[in-house]
Chains A and B, each alone.
Chain A
Amino acid sequence: MKTENQRAWFFVLPVLLLVAFNALIPIMTVVNYSVQETFGNNLFFWQGLDWFEQILRSDRFRASLGRQFLFTFLILIIEVPLGIIIALSMPKKGLWVPVCLVTMALPMLIPWNVVGAMWNIFTLPDIGLLGYFLNTVLGINYDMTQDPIAAWITIVTMDVWHWTSLVVLLSYAGLVSIPDAYYQAAKIDGASPWKVFRYIQLPKMKTVLTIAILLRFMDSFNIYTEPFVLTGGGPGNSTTLLSIDLVKIALGQFDLGPAAAMSLIYFAITLLVSWLFYTLMTKDDDK
């Protein structure tokens, strides 16, 4: 039972000040830009909500948003089940556990632009290990700078390579917390492996899976560096995800107004979907 204590605010104060400085001021800057038009020279004109309307109606925004949702959907549908399967088949104790954990966590600690560069080197058609193997050994015509489908397969594979381990590590942490007695009881009752998974393992993994799914949603929805380094958003616009498009507008074309309006819409969508996930997955919690 938690006690009511308003002085607890003093404990939260440092975090509050830090996050307010980092989040509120920049967000206000963005809001400020989003309702104005600028022609340079620090001249600004009131624009109202025109930018928002323009962005929401533009085909370009809708197309990037669609690609973004497709990407995130593919990531979740592949990484979450795959991560659970790998976690279930890992040894529970012994020498192999630290080996597995260390090697699996490795991709997550590589700087994102290095991940992009690494996959670029890996998939070069003539001198990359994967590119050479597909083109020369298997005879598949694979060149992601030309073929949008190949580019998509490559960025999704790269993300699976990069982040499935997060789901594995979190699920595994949930699995090792299950006492042996549970499994023995299931054995006595003659429960099938599926039933053991459904009624013992999955409920125990639920809380950690919530974190894993939320983090994977947020990070795959906000992804920028890796696909940008790997494909630059191409060929054409086929892999231009939301963040890539946003940076193009903001820093490439320096259209601050539309970029700011787009930022706010983008942030709002991320918030809304995260909130939906969060509410859906914690609705049975009795706390």
Chain B
Amino acid sequence: MRKRSIIPVLYILFLMLPIYWLVAMSFKTTNEILSGFSLFPQTFTLQNYRVIFTDPTWYWGYVNSIFYVSLNTVISITVALPAAYAFSRYRFLGDKTLFFWLLTNRMAPAAVFALPFFQLYSSVGLFDTHLAVALAHTLFNVPLAVWILEGFMGGVPKELDETAYVDGYSFPRFFVTIFIPTIKAGVGVAAFFAFMFSWVELLLAKTLTAVAAKPIAATMTKTASSAGYELGLLAAAGTLTIIPGAIVIYFVRNYIAKGFALGRV
């Protein structure tokens, strides 16, 4: 090990400490938490997790979140792919203006949109549906997906397109069977970011749902305020929200490292 490896090691240690504390809390009883400081759980309990896995308001929160996040990722990537292709291959009237305007939506503070979104999605009858949250999150995920994919597509030489036409490929067939597989690292990176920003966002998700599509994060805030202060339960719920993210990172780890470097992003 070289001497400078100490920097990443210290950094990872710093990252892990709060997470360790959350996980440790989740295995403690409420009594132990309130009675004082202990580095490790003294009376190891799974009670907090049992509550979450047996109470539908808790576990449905996870199902809802995963459902609208997946829906959002699929919608974002599907609409962003052709748009990114257009931006990377063609010049057309207003292309630069349009591209920057798309990016401006990534800059909009979610707090600005909370109330208008509530009114908009209520008026079209989508309030409290998974689709509402998935669509609302496209506001910041589609521009980012277009941006990332455009970078990757720019790195693919145009000869690929031309050769395919000469070989008699129709455009849709070329796009789906040749082009998309070529930039699959880019699709992976874009999907990762779409998943990430939709999974972690709460303000809009909470505003647009009441019961049927309520995200796990909203269930947590409600528990935190209503049931006194059940730290152990809150810690267990928090620990469980880390798992889907960890699984997603594990799958795309190679794409993230190489991914960004491939295109001219």
Contacts and interface: CB of A to CB of B under 8 A. Distances in A.
Interface of A: 1-9, 11-12, 14-16, 18-19, 21-23, 25-27, 29-30, 85-86, 89-91, 97-98, 100-114, 117-119, 121-122, 126-130, 132, 136, 161, 164-165, 168-170, 172-174, 176-177, 207-208, 211, 218, 221-222, 224-225, 229, 242-243, 246-247, 250-251, 256, 259, 263, 266-267, 270-271, 274-275
27 contacts: A5-B90, A11-B82, A22-B136, A22-B139, A86-B11, A102-B250, A104-B11, A104-B15, A106-B19, A107-B19, A108-B196, A109-B249, A111-B200, A111-B217, A112-B200, A117-B224, A118-B238, A132-B37, A161-B14, A164-B11, A173-B259, A218-B106, A247-B203, A263-B109, A270-B107, A271-B104, A274-B103
B15 A106 contact: yes
Interface string B218-260: 0011001000000100110110011011101110011011111
Contact of A3 (B5, B91, B253, B258): B91
Interface residues of B, number: 100
Nearest to A97: B257
B112 to A, nearest CB: 4
A126 B249 contact: no
Contacts of B220: 113-114, 117
Given A11-B85, A110-B200, A161 B15 contact: yes
Contacts of A256: 115
A105 B202 contact: no
A207 B265 contact: yes
Contacts of B258: 173, 176
A250 B202 CA distance: 17
A266 B111 CA distance: 10
Contact of A102 (B5, B98, B104, B253): B253
- Which 7 A-B pairs give the minimum distances between C-beta atoms? A109-B245, A177-B261, A26-B116, A173-B260, A11-B86, A8-B90, A222-B109
A106 B90 contact: no
Contact of B92 (A4, A29, A119, A222): A4
Contacts of B262: 177
A11 B203 contact: no
B152 interface: no
Contacts of A18: 75, 79, 135, 138, 142
A260 to B, nearest CB: 9
A271 B202 contact: no
B176 interface: no
Given A26-B113, A224-B110, 5 more contacts: A2-B91, A111-B201, A113-B221, A128-B21, A222-B108
B125 interface: no
A15 B80 contact: yes
Tell me which of A15, A27, A165 has the highest count of chain B C-beta atoms within 10 A of its own C-beta. A15
A47 B113 CA distance: 22
Contact of A173 (B16, B34, B257): B257
A107 B245 CA distance: 9
A271 B108 CA distance: 8
B33 interface: yes
A16 B98 contact: yes
B18 interface: yes
B89 A103 contact: no
A98 B158 CA distance: 33
B182 to A, nearest CB: 17
Contact of A250 (B114, B139, B254): B114
> Which of A110, A119, A207 has the most chain B CB within a 10 Å cutoff?
A110
Contacts of A30: 112, 116
